[in-house]
Amino acid sequence: MRYYLIAGEKSGDVHAGKLMQALQTCDQTVVARGIGGGHMQRAGVQLLVHYKQLTFMGFNITKLFKTLRTYLTHCKQDILIFQPDAVILVDYAGFNFRIAKFAKAHHLKVFYYIPPKVWAWHTQRINTLKAYVDWIYTILPFEKAFYQKHNVTNVTYVGHPSLEDIATYQQTIPMPRLDDAVSTASIALLPGSRPQEVKKILPTMLAIVNKLPTCQFVVGAVSELPVDLYQAAKDTPGVEVVYDRTYHILSHASVAVVASGTATLEAACLKVPQIVVYKTDPLTYWIAKHVLKVKYIAIVNILADKAIVPELIQHAYTAKQLLHTLEHILQHPDTREKQLSHYAHILNTLDKYNTSMRTAKHIVNYLQQRINLVE
């Protein structure tokens, strides 16, 4: 069968690549095309465009919308030419919602893997999912109940793909963390995977380096982003920049400073105490503050429904406050152990295995059943 996959960011590309590999196992006739990155391409997806061409520096709204509109038009045209049996959307809500509506209007089957967090904000978007998506694959355990509460029943909880990836990583390349008895602590600095995140978040991380001269600092960098984003880190004594090896960095870390996102759950899975940080432009923060329906932004805190890891957001994210919070974790083993204990509890609520294969099997079976009904 023919599949059209769309992932607009690095994490989506990683998960879509894994899903593509699983689809090839379930369906020997796979032909795939779409928007994504290197992971999807290596898995056999022919790319219309690399997602990095949809990534922007600066805050030029006019240019942003003009470029996205152009790629949206190209994508729609490409879908019509390719005529897929299924359109598989991976995260990237703003773009993918428009594609879902378009695909459904052309009588194509639409699947959403890693749907937008409608439980956190813009709850009304659930109506779009209900109208234009044939099946939704959620990755957090409470999401299915949320959808069902809103009369959306075409939902399957498949587990979190990052945990599946980490389990595979730990089986193949076990990387012990530095022993607590070692005087030099390793601090992982993960400033995010989007240009604007790195631009806003990394400088404050680097500002504390000279205050902790006995620590080793490692910045988790993303090779698809402009190299100049990390130049300040490369120029800072005591800092190492490592590209595309988040699990390796976390596995060696004593503590992590993590931009809010999937990496917070990855740090928990790898048993690394952490501080979650985030900073954006004032307008975006103001909007988010007024529309968010959750008390926390870190996935681990949301899952626990309490602050098990500290969050330093926007005005609270200063070098002074970051240093104070980091020193507290480094100097108080009981704080570290309390975080790890909470990690164990929330991870027990998550399904860690076979996420990609479970999703692929469901998609293939769904399509085959529809084909059999037609025949």
In the prediction, which pLDDT does 239 show?
96
To 10 degrees, what angle do helices 319-331 and 333-347 make? Answer: 90
Please say whether the structural domain 172-347 has been given the CATH code 3.30.2270.10.
Answer: no
By the 8 A CB rule, do 303 and 349 touch?
A: yes
Q: Copy the structure tokens of residue 328.
A: 């507290």
In the prediction, which pLDDT does 181 show?
35
Overall fold of domain 2-159+351-374: Rossmann fold (3.40.50)
By the 8 A CB rule, do 111 and 363 touch?
A: yes
Provide the 10 A C-beta neighbour count for residue 295: 11
Tell me the C-alpha distance between 230 and 236, whole Å: 10
Residue at 33: amino acid letter: R
Block mean pLDDT (10 aa), the chain, length 375: 95 95 96 96 96 63 72 95 98 94 97 92 88 96 92 94 85 52 75 92 98 96 92 96 94 95 94 95 75 84 95 96 97 94 92 89 94 65
DSSP, res 51:
G
Tell me the C-alpha distance between 273 and 339, whole Å: 6
Tell me the C-alpha distance between 290 and 288, whole Å: 5
Secondary structure of residue 260 in the 3-state scheme: coil
In the prediction, which pLDDT does 7 show?
96
What are the domain boundaries of the chain?
A: 2-159+351-374, 172-347
Q: What is the DSSP string of 164-228?
A: HHHHHHHHHS--PPPPTTSSS-EEEEE--SSHHHHHHHHHHHHHTGGG-TTSEEEEEE-TTS-GG
Answer whether 2-159+351-374 and 172-347 agree in fold.
yes
pTM of the model: 0.89
